[in-house]
Structure 1
Amino acid sequence: MDLFNSAFGKNISFVHPAFFTISGLSGIPNITHYYVFLFFVYVVSVVGNTTVMALIYFDHNLRTPKYIAVFNLAFVDLFGNTALVPKVLDIFLFKHPNIPYNDCLTFLFFCYTCLCMQSFNLVALAYDRLIAIIYPLHYQVKVTHRFMFTLIASFWACSIIAVLISVGLITRLSICDSVVVKSYFCDHGQIYRLACNDHFPNYVVSCLYPVLIFWLPLVFILLSYIYIGYTLAKVASVQEGLKAFKTCIGHISLVAIYFTPLLITFTLMENIHPNARIINLSLTSVFPPMLNPIIYVLQTQEIKESLKRLLRFKGKPKITPKHAL
């Protein structure tokens, strides 16, 4: 971060606190039940996403460009919930609200990076469905393994660079008075508002990033499905159209689960109680990673077939050869 700060001035010093105090979920009635629920969500998320990753890794039939994106989504969900939920439980359930300054920025980095990648990964899956349905004869040429690896790697690079900029801007803030962060994690928006020096660059980032990370991906996904629906209505029969659209149900479900709570929260921001807003945002962070693998197992035929093959293989009794006497 010294290199980042040197770009703005050589002899600038900033006041950094020893720690931040995370207080977002404190004082909410019956919040202990919510922590139990978070633990349950985390366990289901770990089991589900690990299962999906294992199926894709071990089943050669699933080593297609589409399932590269699905594997990455499962990894991001697993990694994101592991970065967030255990720390949230440690902060609020086990009463360790004080997080050292550098640890807080690290916490912020991992949480935001995974949040960005969840959104971008849905874009990759939307593009896959768009090409598969609109240009089925060119799918093998347009959506190759190399293309999907490159797309996913590009999204990782964009997410990491964007979040590093946010973290770098925070290191330029002087925190002089309160160190209490009114959120469930080290939230960029809550931290920069504690600054006693100019935080306009942070404000610009906080306005720009939701557009780049949430709204533009959502617009691309919606337009892609509008185009798919329009094209199918023109060239396919009702049965063929429904059959083609059925392959998108899993992805549409993921998009709805991920974006709907965000749309509700930010649309009704002024009318939502602060406690309800914090709980809603925390659910937005942890709930999709739990539901994503369940949706893909239940609604994706290839995953179901792979799981059935695995279960049949596990259930087969071992046959020991008879040795001649």
Structure 2
Amino acid sequence: MSNEDPPGLDLERLRTHLERELPGLVAGPLNAQVVEGGRSNLTYVVSDGTNRWVVRRPPLGHVLPTAHDMGREHKVLSALGPTAVPVPPTRLLCTDESVIGAPFYVMDFVEGTPYRKAEELAALGERRTRHIADALIDTLGDLHAVDFVSVGLSDFGRPEGYLERQLRRWKKQLDASRSRDLPGIETLHERLAARLPASGSPTIVHGDYRLDNVLVGSDDQIKAVLDWEMSTLGDPLTDLALLIAYAQLSTLDVGVVSNVSAAPGYPAADEVITRYTQRSGRDVSALNWYVAFAFFKLAVILEGIYYRFSQGKTVGEGFEAIGDGVPPLVAHGNATLKED
């Protein structure tokens, strides 16, 4: 860790604020490092030499505060603290931008590993890989079993019309990142819109639930679910479908997406569905629609990244190949709908 201020975090002002709001928490000068990865919000591990915490704030120069709402993240984490869903304990929410230049919150540091690559799981062996995947599925079932009213999240979202709004949102996102012809994507969107299913009972939805968004402990249990930026109240099958889509991606050539499902011992899609159904008791008869929508959403996300790269707005390596991953996602989405 560095004693120098990382971009977007004034350590001395942070320490002064913590000493005022939480006397006795900090034992000395702070140092910090930026955590790589994550969707967009900035994450720092901060230490006083004895203890460690995690600080989250919006990206530098952000212009869409609703997309980087620290209060929402802090609220859902705090609400889930007493439940069966493992989340880092929260310490403080600061909405005063004069402290570090943006709203932020502080939570405890949790030890664990975010597995992203198949080879990382392969090194553990098939038995441990299966155990980790099962724990991931069970934790999702536990999340969807939380009574969001009793934990104070009744106003956390609008479940009515959730799927329709989601489809509309991602179509708008696609239209904003058009740079080339994508055969089949309009057909996929039209078929999704025409066959919109009726949602079951709403739950807390994570929005981006996958293995590299959780921390796994040395005992292969889920120690913390992270990255709640997209969480809301809605249809829980969207979370399950994303897991299924990722489980099927090992058969596709999409190198930029986590490929943990290709590891020996990782359950096949039908096994994921069976375990989730047993855990949750939910009706998954319309799941193909949700999986097709997951592929549509992933295609839009990758196309957006490719669009920014093609416009010269993305710096780094590997982005030139992202565009090649979009057509297989579109094709798989259309094929999934045909299975109904």
Q: Same fold (TM over 0.5)?
A: no
Higher RCO, 1 or 2 (CA under 8 Å, sep at least 6)?
A: 1
Task: Tell which structure's C-alpha radius of gyration is larger.
Answer: 1
Q: TM range, normalised to the smaller chain? A: under 0.3
TM-score, with structure 1 as normaliser: 0.26
TM-score, with structure 2 as normaliser: 0.26
